[in-house]
Amino acid sequence: MRLGRLLVVVWVWGVALFQVGCSGCGDPPVTYGLPGVPGELCADGLRNGDELDVDCGGSCQPCGGRGDTSGPSGCTGNACAAPTCTDGVKNGAETGVDCGGGCPACAEGESCGGDADCSSSLLCLESVCARCREDAHCGAGFACRAGACVEDDFSPRVQMAFLPGSTVLRVRFSEPMVRDGSPASMLNPDNYCVELTDETPHECTPSDAFWLGSELSSVDPNTVDIQLPFAPGNGRYTVHVSGVVDRAANGLGSPRHADFEVGSPLRLMSATTLGRDRVVLTFSRPMLAGPDAPGSAGCSSTATCASRYQLTGASSLGAVLSARVLSAPRDNEVILTHVTAQGGGQYTALAANGADGHGLQSVWGERLGASPLDRVTFTGFGPLVSSWQDGPVQVDPFADGVAATSAVAYRGRMYLGPNADGTRAVGMDQDGVRPDDLAFRFRKDTQKLAGSRSSNAAGAPFPSIGFAGCRENSYQCGPDNEDGRALFASGFFGGTEWLMIGGSRSGGGLDYVYMSRDDDATLDLKYVDLGQALEGTAARSFSALGFHEGRAYLGVPISGGTRRPELLALLRAPAETAGGLDARGNGTGACNPSAHDVCNLAAHRMPGIGAAGSPANPARTVGIDFVGEFNGKLYLGNNGGLVRATVQQPLDYESSPAHWVSITPSAPEYRAKQSLTTDKDMELEPSDRAWSRMAVFNGHVYLGRNTTAGPQLWRCDPALVSGPSPATVQDCDAGDWVLVAANGKGDGQLSQFDNPNNTRLTLLAVNGGALYVGFDNAVDGAVVYRSVVEAPASRSDFTGQGGCLAATAGCVGLGGNGFGQRSVNTRLGEAATLADGERGFLYVPVSGGPGTPVRLYRQQD
């Protein structure tokens, strides 16, 4: 059965378009309007590839077959099929769907008149042969994943909630839901609960000041309006949903809730592609239709549209030609039509917020909220970006010129952030579709139970983690007046996954990290007061964050007179009902897990790692470059060497030195080179670290080292050294390290793949069944190679563009050096991988340094 045949009807806001034909690939198809037909496809009618189901107000009947134009009872103008081709040629003049195999299939991205025009596995969507872009393109019981309609065993989630009217609460789900009279329907009021937002987002205690009525109506298959009995008072609320299912009877996944705010500024909520050249924007309240009138969201000329909207992203979409406000109840939605066809990457839609004089206003005369409330992200209609040679997933992802950002996997999705002013992140599914624009709500520490109090005089909550130059004691900075770029990490405490954000404080005295187990569009972050563990250190930022064995490990670089790196072990997360954790620390004493919440592990005394170690670390700024895990043990390193734990949950080095052992390579190639050092103790990038990355591949540990002469790639073979204790056969020890992929020409003690312009090794990751190695290169552009060999040792074990052997002269990196843009893609950022069954997705932020906006690339294996 070919489910795609159902999709030759495209519903555009109540008007059905039926497209058929063997029109030439690239030629416009013939389109028939079906007036009077509700905008929904049948959920239970016949689908056999050539027949078309149409829902005519409950009279769901299939067409009688090829050539039957009578249609279901009550339908008008229903042309179920068209004449057969007479000569098998797609020349735009004939519209038959059965061409007896004579019509050549159209390729992805070419124009079509029906599914029969497209090659196998492609659908004719919006007159273009394409893979599915959203669940609505697939039949009931099927979902769109990685561009294909597959059996829907995916859980829907609550996407957002907002108030389009003073007494209307609108809840939107991530996919079409059941909306009949059953208990599992999204129209059943018993499935909703609203409360004042609290610290337990997974539980609901109905608010006395805000209760739900029983009048619910469907806005579209994904969206429900709940009519409230009165207008609620200003404040922040959470709507919880339970008991609903999607069309395939899948129960609700996470998040099952969404926050919304009464009295908040007008804002852009979301954007969704409608085809090659259209996108629909959803505002939080109804918009003035116009078009072209002052304050209107509509426009009919490129000049007027340019004063209201802008589209940026993976490729240029050209000018916005028009904007049309839909009729109620969707009068908060605006359809933009633009010149250039969308690709399969991500785009950012911006609406004028009045600050620049454009004056976009709603019917109440409100201005759109300032950044980030004036912009949203969407995935384009073109073929999905699945490899680096497909081009970037996104260019300038926040439309603010940010030159460096982090990628982290969290709750089965990829998170990218923060943006330039520390107020926003973007979350997306593994394959990059369904992006969500994420806001922050940071809690403030107002009591001194242990450590410190938050220093920002403004009242909580805070929307930003801060940025360089932010105004102190304002909402521009973080709760503790953080004023620099943040670092992301994720991991588990007690079986619960948390997102961690560590900011920067240029004046020193950094005391806080922030944590969230939230996953809706507004991430509520609890504070963790580290003051007792960092007291007197003049800490300004975090150089490394990681999770291991139910703890979080935080590396803190210190410069100046003490030059002591700090390594903290956070032993527990904030309580579910608390606004944060005033962590009890060990200070300079022994770590006691029964008495302490956070322990300083005395890294300054570890051999090679710290200034007080033996041997001592001589660098002017000493930090922790990475924290990693192998065989249940913690690994860390910096310019002075490598150390691993000998137990799963190590205590501080000063009181328990046997919990740690130096594993600095003893190989002559290591001793021959001096590790890179840096004077930076804020906003560190992979190129600033002596050990940029750690990866575990097929039972071996790989580390990228940057020296003053150039990069080295090291592999640990644990079985090389098995004693004496504390050396083991299953852990990495000093004698287990070997240099990998040594140059064949030039300096044979470096791993540059024979390119002296590969000056820093900044990417080391495992994705799918491959090991990826990447280099910063200011001349040729960033260079990336991969290996699928069990234990790669030489350059010939790695491949580049087109599968060429990296040991072969002229073999360029994957996607081309610089991913095809050598002058702007020169530096690799904080990358992350995310697994989805047998598939793996590697996300890499790339830039050209300060002044060059980030580009995001993705590789699927």
DSSP string, 313-343: ESS----EEEEEEPPTTSTTEEEEEESSPP-
List all residues 6 or more positions away from 481 whose beta carbon is below 8 Å from its beta carbon. 455, 456, 466, 472, 473, 505, 507
Give alpha helix (H) positions in 681-822: none
Q: Give the per-residue pLDDT at 712.
A: 98
CA distance 236 to 207: 11
CA distance 187 to 180: 7
Looking at per-residue confidence, does 229 or 479 come out higher?
479
Q: How confident is the model at residue 818 (pLDDT cuts 50, 70, 90)?
A: very high
Q: Give the per-residue pLDDT at 90.
A: 37
Least confident of 175-184, 216-225, 454-463, 557-566: 557-566
Inter-residue contact 124 to 8 (CB < 8 Å): yes
pLDDT in tens, 300-319: 999 999 999 999 999 999 99
CA distance 638 to 545: 14
Inter-residue contact 515 to 499 (CB < 8 Å): yes
Helix (H) or strand (E) holding 600: strand 598-600
Least confident of 22-31, 439-448, 481-490, 619-628: 22-31
In this prediction, what percent of the chain has a pLDDT beyond 90? 67
Strand pairing partners for 287? none
The sheet carrying 235-241 orders its strands as: 192-196, 235-241, 257-262
Say whether pLDDT at 778 is over 80: yes
Three-class SS of 547-590:
EECCEEEEEECEECCCCCCEEEEECCCCCCCCCEEECCECCCCC
* Residue 729, both tokens: 């056969």
Q: Give the per-residue pLDDT at 613.
A: 93
CA distance 437 to 373: 10
Reduced DSSP (H G I as helix, E B as strand, rest coil) percent helix, strand, coil of the chain, to 5: 5, 35, 60
* Residue 585, both tokens: 């620390």
CA distance 346 to 383: 11
CA distance 164 to 187: 18
Q: Give the per-residue pLDDT at 217.
A: 94
Looking at per-residue confidence, does 861 or 79 come out higher?
861
Task: Report helix, strand or coil for 350.
Answer: strand
Alpha carbon distance, N-terminus to C-terminus of the chain? 29
Say whether pLDDT at 356 is over 70: no
Strand pairing partners for 284? none
Task: Report helix, strand or coil for 422.
Answer: coil
Three-class SS of 634-671:
EEEEECCEEEEECCCCCCCCCCCHHHEEECCCCCHHHH
Q: How confident is the model at residue 215 (pLDDT cuts 50, 70, 90)?
A: confident
Q: Give the per-residue pLDDT at 77.
A: 30
Mean pLDDT of 392-400: 94
Residue that the structure tokens 């416009």 belong to: 28
Mean pLDDT of 289-297: 87
CA distance 556 to 183: 53
Mean pLDDT of 339-360: 85
pLDDT in tens, 122-157: 777 767 777 777 777 777 778 776 667 778 888 999
Q: How confident is the model at residue 325 (pLDDT cuts 50, 70, 90)?
A: very high
Inter-residue contact 617 to 559 (CB < 8 Å): no
Mean pLDDT of 665-689: 96
In this prediction, what percent of the chain has a pLDDT beyond 70? 85
Mean pLDDT of 610-631: 94
Q: Give the per-residue pLDDT at 102.
A: 47
Say whether pLDDT at 362 is over 70: no
**Residue 305 CA to chain centroid, in angstroms?**
29
Mean pLDDT of 535-557: 93
Mean pLDDT of 830-844: 90
Looking at per-residue confidence, does 181 or 787 come out higher?
787
E-strand spans in 37-141?
53-54, 61-62, 123-125, 128-130
- Mean pLDDT score across all residues of the chain: 84
pTM score, two decimals? 0.85
Q: Give the per-residue pLDDT at 22.
A: 34
Q: Give the per-residue pLDDT at 60.
A: 34
Say whether pLDDT at 86 is over 90: no
List all residues 6 or more positions away from 657 whose beta carbon is below 8 Å from its beta carbon. none
**Residue 752 CA to chain centroid, in angstroms?**
31
Q: How confident is the model at residue 561 (pLDDT cuts 50, 70, 90)?
A: low
pLDDT in tens, 4-45: 222 222 333 332 233 333 334 443 332 222 222 223 333 333
Looking at per-residue confidence, does 148 or 92 come out higher?
148
Give me the sign of the Cα torsion angle 419, 425, 429, 430. Answer: positive
Q: How confident is the model at residue 431 (pLDDT cuts 50, 70, 90)?
A: confident
CA distance 533 to 531: 5
Q: Give the per-residue pLDDT at 126.
A: 67
Inter-residue contact 377 to 426 (CB < 8 Å): yes
CA distance 738 to 721: 12
pLDDT in tens, 233-287: 888 999 999 999 999 999 999 899 999 999 889 999 999 998 889 999 999 999 9
Question: Which domains are delineated in the chain?
Answer: 1-130 (no CATH), 158-262 (2.60.40.1220), 486-670 (no CATH), 685-854 (no CATH)
Inter-residue contact 118 to 5 (CB < 8 Å): no
Q: Give the per-residue pLDDT at 130.
A: 77
Task: Report helix, strand or coil for 414.
Answer: strand
CA distance 23 to 105: 11
Residues in the chain: 861
Q: How confident is the model at residue 734 (pLDDT cuts 50, 70, 90)?
A: very high
CA-CA-CA-CA dihedral for 73, 79, 80, 83, to nearest 10: 140
428 by Cβ neighbours in 10 Å (0-12 / 13-18 / 19+) ranks as buried
